């Protein structure tokens, strides 16, 4: 049965939040070992990554996405792990872009595999936008942060390639960790000002259980903002839509805009409209979720689309998540899904 994406009414959770976005993590593997995400001590040769047979196939992801779109989702983002390590990702992108009702199709990547040719292929497959993660411009520091000795120049080239393939507006995500790369806040702003690329500063978060997060290591968004504002005065920009995670600011001299993502110091749970699908088909309704609901077994047990719709609808309608609003000294120790498994 093919679903009519307009047939269903929008669904809302217990806090009156709509389901609007789906983040699809296509792999739990990554070619980087960023110290704040996949510390080498844990993600080493002994680590058990998902075997291929456990991953959702492209057809399974496409079917589930169509179902999510029937429930109100309009924006899709591919993430991981590193999404570009999943073979033939452009085939999946094409399938998803052909689903009626998908209005935005984006990807978050570390940029290591985003060559000019790849960027053009992704664009022609239907990808609209790319966010590239980059935490420093200093080559030595960047190599230390990705912990696989990857040179910064290649990521800067990837950002160029995304721009020239018109995967725009291209955004750059910078995680700021005190004492590690907070000295890079101003150089990064200087580099991306006046380029059309939107730099977004992200507070270091207590995702997962392996990155040794401590509140003292968080540089509050307010402080990041004030540092930049002293150098180049900023003014706020209204959000494009209520579900935006970044607070936007523009340079008063007209040289572009930045965003600040303050999940720790200024949570935005009330506007959180995101569902997250893990590589093996678990549905999470929060980045800090302790467990997900197994949609793969529904897909593989010949359930009808309607039955899967009912399951997802029930999960969303019962959703109560607001982790960042209740974060305390105790919550970071709770068992939680790793960021490298579910994506940002
Ligand atoms: N590998 C891709 C990448 O790095 O862009 C996609 C997945 S990665 C998990 C998604 C985003 O999460 C990246 O921008 C990364 O910097 C961010 N991230 C990872 N760990 C984080 C943490 N502990 N706090 C804040 N952001 C984090
Ligand atoms: Fe890999 Fe992205 Fe995590 Fe870095 S942030 S280790 S690139 S998944
Ligand atoms: Fe959404 Fe959970 Fe983050 Fe709150 S903590 S904004 S509910 S993902």
Looking up residue 74, the CATH number of its domain turns out to be 3.20.20.70
Token pair for residue 131?
A: 């966010």
**Residue with the nearest Cα to atom 12 of ligand 1?**
344
Tokens of 280: 């093996």
The residue among 189, 203, 181 whose CA lies nearest residue 268 is 203
Place of tokens 């047990």: 301
H-run or E-run covering 160: helix 152-164
How far away, in angstroms, is 239 Cα from ligand 3 center? 18
What pLDDT is stored for residue 207 in this prediction?
A: 85
Check pocket membership of 343 for ligand 1, CB cut-off 6 A. Answer: yes
Distance 124 CA to ligand 1 centre (A): 26
pTM for the full predicted model: 0.95
Burial zone of 301 (CB within 10 Å; 0-12 exposed, 13-18 middle, 19+ buried): exposed
- Is the distance from CB of 199 to CB of 172 less than 8 angstroms? yes
For ligand 3, mutation pick of 25, 262, 269, 274 (most atoms within 8 Å of CB): 269
Q: Output DSSP code: residue 295.
A: -
What CA–CA distance (Å, rounded) separates 9 from 70? 8
Question: In this structure, what are the phi and psi dihedrals at residue 167, rounded to the nearest 5 degrees?
Answer: -85, 60
158 lines ligand 1 (CB under 6 A): no
Q: Scanning the structure block, which residue is given the tokens 């456990």?
A: 54
Q: Give 37 Cα–ligand 1 centroid separation in angstroms.
A: 7
Ligand 2 pocket, 107 CB below 6 A? no
| 47 three-class SS | coil
Cα-to-centroid distance, 30 and ligand 2 (Å): 6
Q: Rounded to an integer, what distance in angstroms lies between the CA atom of residue 217 and that of residue 36?
A: 11
Q: Alpha-carbon distance 73 to 277, whole Å?
A: 13
Rg, C-alpha atoms of the chain: 19
Residue 173: beta bridge partners? Answer: 133, 200
Q: Ligand 3: does its nearest atom lie under 6 Å from the Cβ of 272? A: yes
Q: State CA 114 to chain mean position distance.
A: 17
E strand or H helix at 89, and its extent?
Answer: helix 89-97
Q: Which long-range contacts (CB under 8 A, 24 or more apart) does 210-216 make?
A: 210/38, 210/39, 210/42, 210/43, 210/338, 211/35, 211/36, 211/37, 211/39, 211/339, 212/39, 213/332, 215/264, 215/329, 216/178
Give the tokens for residue 196. 């059309």
What is the full per-residue pLDDT of the chain (344 aa) written as tens digits?
A: 555 555 566 799 999 999 999 999 999 999 999 999 999 999 999 999 999 999 999 999 999 999 999 999 999 999 999 999 999 999 999 999 999 999 999 999 999 999 999 999 999 999 999 999 999 999 999 999 999 999 999 999 999 999 999 999 999 999 999 999 999 999 999 999 999 999 999 999 988 888 889 899 999 999 999 999 999 999 999 988 877 899 999 999 999 999 999 999 999 899 999 999 999 999 999 999 889 999 999 999 999 999 999 999 999 999 999 988 888 766 777 888 888 898 87
Could you tell me how far CA 29 lies from the centroid of its own chain?
15
Give the tens place of pLDDT for each residue, 154-198: 999 999 999 999 999 999 999 999 999 999 999 999 999 999 999
Range of the domain at 273: 5-342
Q: Look at residue 233 and give its three-state secondary structure.
A: coil
Q: What share of the chain is helix, strand, coil (3-state, %, to 5)?
A: 35, 15, 50
Tell me how many degrees the CA angle 313-314-318 measures, rounded to the nearest 5.
115
**Separation of 285 CA from ligand 3 center, angstroms?**
8
Domain count, the chain: 1
């Amino acid at each position: 049965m093919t679903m009519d994406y307009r047939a269903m009414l929008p669904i809302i959770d217990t806090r009156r939040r709509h389901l609007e976005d789906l983040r699809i993590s296509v792999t739990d593997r990554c070619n980087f070992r960023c110290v704040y995400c996949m510390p080498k001590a844990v993600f080493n040769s002994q680590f058990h990554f998902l075997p291929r047979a456990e991953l959702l196939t492209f057809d399974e992801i496409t079917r589930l996405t169509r179902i999510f779109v029937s429930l109100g989702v309009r924006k899709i983002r591919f993430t991981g792990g590193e999404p570009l390590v999943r073979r033939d990702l452009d085939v999946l992108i094409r399938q998803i872009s052909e689903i009626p009702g998908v209005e935005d199709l984006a990807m978050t990547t570390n940029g290591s595999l985003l060559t000019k040719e790849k960027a053009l292929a992704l664009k022609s497959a239907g990808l609209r936008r790319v966010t590239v993660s980059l935490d420093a411009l200093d080559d030595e520091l960047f190599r230390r942060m990705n912990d696989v000795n990857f040179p910064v120049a290649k990521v800067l080239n990837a950002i160029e390639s995304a721009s020239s393939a018109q995967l725009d507006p291209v955004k750059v995500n910078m995680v700021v960790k005190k004492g590690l790369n907070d000295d890079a806040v101003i150089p990064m702003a200087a580099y991306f000002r006046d380029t059309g690329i939107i730099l977004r500063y992200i507070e270091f978060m207590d995702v997962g259980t392996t990155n040794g997060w401590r509140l003292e290591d968080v540089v509050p968004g307010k402080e990041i903002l004030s540092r930049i504002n002293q150098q180049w005065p900023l003014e706020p920009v209204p959000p494009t839509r209520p579900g935006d995670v970044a607070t936007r600011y523009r340079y008063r001299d007209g040289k572009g805009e930045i965003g600040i993502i303050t999940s720790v110091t200024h949570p935005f749970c009330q506007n959180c409209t995101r569902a997250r699908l893990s590589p093996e088909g678990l549905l999470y309704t929060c980045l800090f979720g302790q467990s997900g609901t197994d949609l793969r077994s529904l897909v593989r047990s010949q359930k009808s689309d309607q039955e899967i719709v009912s399951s997802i609808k029930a999960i969303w309608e019962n959703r109560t998540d607001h982790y960042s609003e209740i974060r305390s000294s105790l919550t970071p120790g709770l068992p939680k899904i790793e960021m490298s498994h579910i994506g940002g």
